[in-house]
Amino acid sequence: MKAHRFEHAGAVFEIVFERAPEGWVAHIRRADSATTHVIGFPDGPGYDPSDVRGSLIVGCEAAIPTLTWITPTRH
């Protein structure tokens, strides 16, 4: 599935989608961060089977404000 780029609150994000046996996996990366968040979307209720990509994009964009983009430190 084609990747998706969008802007939210002045930051640019890219989502790469991957099909897994149990559903879809979205890898969300902010352009200025090395951090990638992975969100799973299991098969079943929750997304429109006639527009899977659109449904996944909406879910990922809704999750952005809840994700932390602080770079991890090494101790």
20-53 exposure pattern, b = at least 16 Cβ within 10 A, e = fewer: eeeebebebbbeeeeeebeeebeeeeebeeeebe
Give residue limits of the domains in the chain: 4-66
Give the separation between CA 44 and CA 29, rounded to whole angstroms: 25
Q: Each residue of 23-54: pLDDT tens digit?
A: 999 999 999 888 899 999 998 777 787 888 99
Structure confidence at residue 54 (pLDDT): 93
Structure confidence at residue 34 (pLDDT): 83
Q: Is the model's pTM score more than 0.75?
A: yes
Residue for token pair 């939210």 = 8
| Residue 14 banded pLDDT, cuts 50, 70, 90 | very high
